[in-house]
């Protein structure tokens, strides 16, 4: 018996990397899962990747979450095909990579990041919570993917760091307003996660990053999926408004070991 037997989950950005691991985790624990990516091309690739992992029964929906009409269409489809929703994982993110530093960054790129990570995340959450509200017997749960960069900035990612800080504040505010309705809202804040971007990383940089982690390793997607599943399950039934960090101890460290003497 799985923790999510009979539950319906939506994972945004579930078509690759961490999102794909979250989708796999929910399916393996019994949920009926819908996942979206920003385009049909990316969701098709995601569906193929899930098949390769032996994960069946996932419905993939192309949906740019920064677009109100596409979000509405996605929820119409979930309504038609499942008639309920129990779990929302707001995983999709515009990483804001390559935007440059604060002096040269084009302000419109800043907005692109907020439009997906903050406004898009809110839009999907609002639609999900309106669905949850119709389910008297079992109200739903929302999990956001934040980042430890909300607290400890990384270089040339101003918009991304700002968006994750906004997500942390939004999680607390949503949790407060939605608690009387029985809806819980929490976040997992990862540090380094081994995604496809690590495949092209200079091995020396990868090794130095690991040295930066007190546990000497970056997270696997499955490590993050485990935390997300905990926050989505009744195992965290008395938690709301929490930001749970999963970063190999990076946030508790002032300096990495090789310069801390
Ligand atoms: N990787 C890390 O080291 C790390 C660290 C801390 C926190 N996080 C957070 O953890 C989560 C997963 O990270 P990740 O590195 O696995 O992400 P990722 O590889 O960058 O993938 C991002 C996902 O979001 C989707 N997405 C982006 N914009 C979208 C939009 N407008 N509408 C719908 N989907 C959209 C992408 O879909 P397409 O494929 O269609 O583009 C993709 O599935 C993110 O929230 C990230 O900020 C990651």
* Tens digit of each residue's pLDDT (9 = 90 or more) over 195-205: 999 999 999 99
Choosing from 12, 18, 74 the residue with most ligand 1 atoms within 8 A of its CB, the one to mutate for a pocket test is 18
Query: Whose CA is closest to 243, among 174, 193, 158, 192?
Result: 174
Q: Is the CB of 12 under 6 A from ligand 1?
A: yes
113 is a domain residue: yes
CATH number at residue 76: 3.40.50.720
Domain region containing 227: 8-259
Look up the pTM and report it: 0.98
69 is a domain residue: yes
181 is a domain residue: yes
54 is a domain residue: yes
- The C-alpha atoms of residue 258 and residue 250 are separated, in whole angstroms, by 14
Residue 58's pLDDT is what? 98
Residue 60's pLDDT is what? 98
Indicate the SS3 state at residue 167: helix
The Å distance, Cα 1 to ligand 1 centre, comes to 30
Q: Is the CB of 43 under 6 A from ligand 1?
A: no
- The C-alpha atoms of residue 185 and residue 178 are separated, in whole angstroms, by 8
Choosing from 24, 93, 201, 220 the residue with most ligand 1 atoms within 8 A of its CB, the one to mutate for a pocket test is 93
Low-confidence stretches of the chain (pLDDT < 50) are none
Residue 45's pLDDT is what? 98
- The C-alpha atoms of residue 2 and residue 218 are separated, in whole angstroms, by 27
3 is a domain residue: no
164 is a domain residue: yes
Query: Whose CA is closest to 49, among 193, 196, 190, 147?
Result: 196
Residue 63's pLDDT is what? 98
187 is a domain residue: yes
Q: What are phi and psi of 200, to 5 degrees?
A: -105, 10
- The C-alpha atoms of residue 228 and residue 245 are separated, in whole angstroms, by 11
- The C-alpha atoms of residue 182 and residue 124 are separated, in whole angstroms, by 18
Residue 148's pLDDT is what? 98
pLDDT tens by residue, 41-94: 999 999 999 999 999 999 999 999 999 999 999 999 999 999 999 999 999 999
Total count of domains within the chain: 1
1 is a domain residue: no
């Amino acid at each position: 018996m799985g923790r999510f037997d009979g539950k319906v989950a939506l994972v945004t950005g579930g078509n690759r990397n961490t999102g794909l691991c979250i989708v796999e985790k929910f399916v393996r624990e019994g949920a009926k899962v819908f996942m979206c990516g920003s385009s049909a091309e990316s969701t098709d690739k995601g569906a193929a990747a899930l098949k390769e992992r032996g994960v069946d029964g996932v419905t993939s929906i192309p949906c740019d979450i920064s677009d109100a009409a596409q979000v509405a269409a996605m929820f119409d489809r979930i309504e038609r095909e499942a008639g309920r929703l129990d779990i929302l994982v707001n995983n999709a993110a515009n990483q804001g990579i390559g935007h440059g530093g604060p002096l040269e960054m084009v302000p419109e790129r800043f907005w692109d990041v907020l439009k997906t990570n903050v406004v898009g995340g809110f839009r999907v959450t609002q639609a999900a919570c309106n669905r949850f509200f119709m389910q008297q017997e079992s109200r739903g749960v929302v999990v956001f993917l934040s980042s430890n960069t909300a607290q400890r900035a990384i270089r040339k990612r101003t918009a991304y760091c700002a968006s994750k800080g906004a997500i942390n504040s939004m999680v607390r505010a949503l949790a407060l307003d939605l608690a009387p309705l029985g809806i819980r809202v929490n976040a997992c804040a990862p540090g380094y996660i081994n995604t496809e971007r690590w495949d092209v990383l200079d091995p020396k940089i990868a090794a130095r990053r690991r040295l930066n982690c007190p546990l000497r390793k970056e997270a696997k997607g499955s490590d993050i999926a485990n935390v997300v599943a905990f926050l989505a399950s009744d195992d965290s039934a008395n938690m709301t408004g929490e930001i749970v960090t999963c970063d190999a101890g990076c946030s508790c460290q002032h300096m990495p070991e090789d310069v801390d003497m």
